[in-house]
Amino acid sequence: MLNFRNTNIVFIVLLAALTGCHILYGLPFYSYIILSFVYSLLLFWGSYFIGSNFYFNVICSAKTEQKQIAISFDDGPFPEFTPQVLQILKENKVPAAFFCIGKRVQEHAELFQQVIAEGHLIGNHSYSHHLWFDLFSAGKMAADLQAMDDAMKKIAGLKPRLFRPPYGVTNPNLKKAVIKGNYIPIGWNIRSMDTVIKNEQKLLEKVTRLLKPGAVVLFHDTAKATPGMLSAFIRQVKDSGYEIVRLDKLLKLEPYA
């Protein structure tokens, strides 16, 4: 299995072998550059592809043959679009998971309470969702995640167990923070790209063609195109014989501590 530990072991061995060959046979210096470049590519892949499980295990889907999927929304609550998303989910009797940002939970407490009151699951998506979150120390990351927990506990009396990394990026520092907070890392295996795709029809076509049993779909309740295509998406999912269940039911997890 390709992971951070095994990769380091292999590259240490390769570096030692390369050094020996350099001393004995005079291999060119650029050999070290090539080795470093390949190593960097692997670290990039492991960090930016959440399903790689490179640094730690992230649950991205359910292993099932049943035609069930879960939908999730990141980055809210967001007053401009979250109410529209909630209304569509309510009209269609569909549960969802909302991975919320702590500072927005505090800023929009009533909307956050509405999400919970309507039966949706809440996960931790950090407090700050800072642009440079991936460069934080392990201690700073842990404090940031705890701040989201504290905000949620104060407003709703619940502590989330499920955590989705900001930007979907993982690294060794985040692993330490996840272990310290005793979180269950959650990813996705269908990324809608709704923060990039502005055309509702194109967004709908992209997501529906990737449907498969056990899928976890990533949307954002901060994206304008999402509420515009959500009803059609739900309709197509159901017409295809799928059931949309809440994320914790799909993955058989306890969502709160």
- Distance between first and last Cα of the chain: 31
- Domain identity same for 140 and 15: no
- Domain identity same for 151 and 206: yes
Half-sphere exposure of 15 (CA within 13 A, CB side): 11
- Which residues, including other chains, have CB under 8 Å from residue 146's CB and lie 6 or more apart? 181
* Cα dist from 90 to 2, 96, 165, 233, whole Å: 42, 10, 27, 14
Q: Is residue 163, in this structure, part of any structural domain at all?
A: yes
Catalytic annotation, pick one of 74, 144, 149, 221: 74
Q: Is residue 100, in this structure, part of any structural domain at all?
A: yes
Q: Is residue 53, in this structure, part of any structural domain at all?
A: no
pTM: 0.95
Read off the CATH number of the domain in which 201 is found.
3.20.20.370
How many domains, the chain?
2
pLDDT of residue 246: 98
Residues of the chain with pLDDT under 50: none
Please tell me the distance from the alpha carbon of residue 209 to that of residue 203, in angstroms, as a whole number: 10
In which domain, by residue range, is 29 found?
4-48
pLDDT of residue 35: 92
- Domain identity same for 95 and 44: no
- Domain identity same for 142 and 83: yes
Helix or strand holding residue 44 (H, E): helix 30-48
pLDDT of residue 21: 84
Catalytic annotation, pick one of 120, 125, 129, 220: 220
Please tell me the distance from the alpha carbon of residue 91 to that of residue 89, in angstroms, as a whole number: 6
Strand 68-74 and strand 184-185: the pairing is: unpaired
DSSP codes, the chain: ---HHHHHHHHHHHHHHHHHHHHHH---THHHHHHHHHHHHHHHHHHH-GGG-SSS--B-S---SSSEEEEEEES---TTTHHHHHHHHHHTT---EEEE-HHHHHHTHHHHHHHHHTT-EEEE--SS--TTGGGS-HHHHHHHHHHHHHHHHHHHS--B-EE--GGG---HHHHHHHHHHT-EEB--SEE--TTT---HHHHHHHHHTT--TT-EEEEETT-THHHHHHHHHHHHHHHTT-EE--HHHHHT---B-
- What length does the chain have? 257
220 is catalytic: yes
pLDDT of residue 23: 84
- Domain identity same for 77 and 137: yes
In the block, which residue shows the tokens 């569909």?
94
pLDDT of residue 79: 98
108 is catalytic: no
- Domain identity same for 79 and 107: yes
